[in-house]
C-alpha cells in the first residue's frame, strides 16, 4: 500500500529531534560519525565538524545524510575546538546554514598519546595537546544554547578510564576527569535556562583511536577483561546520546554515564 502524504507528515512530525540543529564535534569518524547518523535519523539537522586537513570523511558523511534531501540537512565545518575563534565560527556557520540557533552540542572530539607514556615520560608538549583538545573547550559558547523545541542539550564525552585509572593514560585521564567535573558545575550554572549538561564516558570502543598504538595481544587482553567478551561498538553508544538529546532525557542532568558493558 502506498504511503499517503498525511502518513509521511505524521511520521516526520513524530521524530523526537525534528529540525533541531545539532553540532557534533569530531564527527568525521569513530563515535562521532555514528552519533551524527543517529541524530539525523531522529530528525536533527547536523553540523559535521572535523579538524584535519582531509575533508573527505566529513564530506562523505554529509553526502550520506543529505541523499535525497532538499534542502540539505547536514553541512561540513572545519574547526579546531581548542581554538576560541574557530569555535565561534563553528556556531556562526551552523546558525547561518539553518537559520536557527543551535539546540544540541555533542563533543566527541578527543586525542590521546598512542605511545601510552608513564607520568614521568609524558612530555610537556603531549600533555598540553591532550588538555587543549580534551578539556579546554569554550564553555560560554555552549552555554549560549537557547531553549527551543524542548530545551538545549550539551552532551560531553569523557572516558571510563577516569574510573579505571590505568597506567599509560595519565594526561588523557586527567583531562577527561576535568571534563566530568566541569559538566557537573555547568549543569548547575545553567539553572533557569532549560539547558541540560551531561557527560557520556565510554569504555573500549572499536575505533581508530582505540586501536592506535595497541598490539593484537593488548586488544585481546582488553576483550578478555570485558564481561560481555567483546569491544564496544559505536552503535552501542548512539542510542544513549539520542535519548539525552531528546525531550525524554530532560530529567537527566549533570550526570556522568559510564557505558562500557561492565568493563569498569
Say if 4 falls within a structural domain. no
Share the mean pLDDT of the chain. 88
Looking up residue 217, the CATH number of its domain turns out to be 3.40.50.720
- Tens-digit pLDDT profile for residues 218-261: 999 999 999 999 999 999 999 999 999 999 999 999 999 999 99
Active site residue 140: no
Say if 215 falls within a structural domain. yes
Place of cell 562521532: 32
Q: Are 61 and 27 spatial neighbours (Cβ–Cβ below 8 Å)?
A: yes
Expressed as residue numbers, the domain containing 234 is: 17-259
- Tens-digit pLDDT profile for residues 127-143: 998 988 888 765 556 65
Quick one: pLDDT at residue 136?
75
CA atoms within 13 A on the CB side of 15: 18
Say if 84 falls within a structural domain. yes
Cell for 1?
Answer: 500500500
**Average pLDDT, stretch 174-185?**
94
- Tens-digit pLDDT profile for residues 27-39: 999 999 999 999 9
Quick one: pLDDT at residue 137?
63
Say if 10 falls within a structural domain. no
Active-site entry in 50, 116, 172, 263 = 172
Our count of domains for the chain comes to 1
User: Which three-class secondary structure string do you get for 42-109?
Assistant: CCCEEEEEECCCCCHHHHHHHHHHHCCCCCCCEEEEECCCCCHHHHHHHHHHHHHHHCCCCCEEEECC
By CB atoms closer than 10 A (0-12, 13-18, 19+), residue 97 is middle
Say if 6 falls within a structural domain. no
Measured CA distances, 241 to 39, 59, 83, 150 (Å): 8, 23, 25, 16
CA distance 42 to 72: 15
- Tens-digit pLDDT profile for residues 55-90: 999 999 999 999 988 899 999 999 988 788 888 888
Amino acid at each position: 500500500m502506498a504511503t499517503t502524504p498525511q502518513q509521511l507528515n505524521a511520521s516526520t512530525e513524530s521524530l523526537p529531534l525534528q529540525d533541531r540543529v545539532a553540532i557534533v564535534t569530531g564527527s568525521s569518524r569513530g563515535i562521532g560519525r555514528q552519533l551524527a547518523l543517529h541524530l539525523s535519523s531522529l530528525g536533527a539537522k547536523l553540523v559535521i565538524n572535523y579538524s584535519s586537513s582531509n575533508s573527505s570523511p566529513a564530506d562523505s558523511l554529509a553526502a550520506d545524510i543529505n541523499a535525497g534531501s532538499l534542502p540539505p540537512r547536514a553541512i561540513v565545518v572545519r574547526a579546531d575546538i581548542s581554538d576560541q575563534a574557530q569555535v565561534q565560527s563553528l556556531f556562526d556557520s551552523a546558525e547561518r546554514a539553518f537559520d536557527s540557533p543551535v539546540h544540541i552540542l555533542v563533543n566527541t572530539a578527543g586525542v590521546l598519546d598512542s605511545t601510552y607514556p608513564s607520568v614521568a615520560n609524558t612530555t610537556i608538549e603531549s600533555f598540553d595537546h591532550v588538555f587543549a583538545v580534551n578539556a579546554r573547550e569554550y564553555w560560554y559558547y555552549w552555554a549560549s544554547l537557547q531553549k527551543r523545541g524542548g530545551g538545549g542539550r550539551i552532551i560531553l564525552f569523557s572516558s571510563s578510564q577516569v574510573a579505571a585509572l590505568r597506567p599509560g593514560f595519565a594526561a588523557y585521564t586527567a583531562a577527561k576527569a576535568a571534563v566530568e567535573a566541569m559538566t557537573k558545575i555547568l549543569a548547575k550554572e545553567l539553572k533557569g535556562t532549560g539547558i541540560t549538561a551531561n557527560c557520556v564516558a565510554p569504555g573500549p570502543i572499536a575505533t581508530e583511536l582505540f586501536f592506535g598504538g595497541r598490539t593484537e595481544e593488548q586488544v585481546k587482553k582488553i576483550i578478555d577483561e570485558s564481561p560481555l567478551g567483546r569491544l564496544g561498538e559505536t552503535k552501542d553508544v548512539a542510542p544513549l546520546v539520542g535519548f539525552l538529546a531528546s525531550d525524554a532525557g530532560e530529567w537527566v542532568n549533570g550526570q556522568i554515564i559510564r557505558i562500557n558493558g561492565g568493563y569498569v
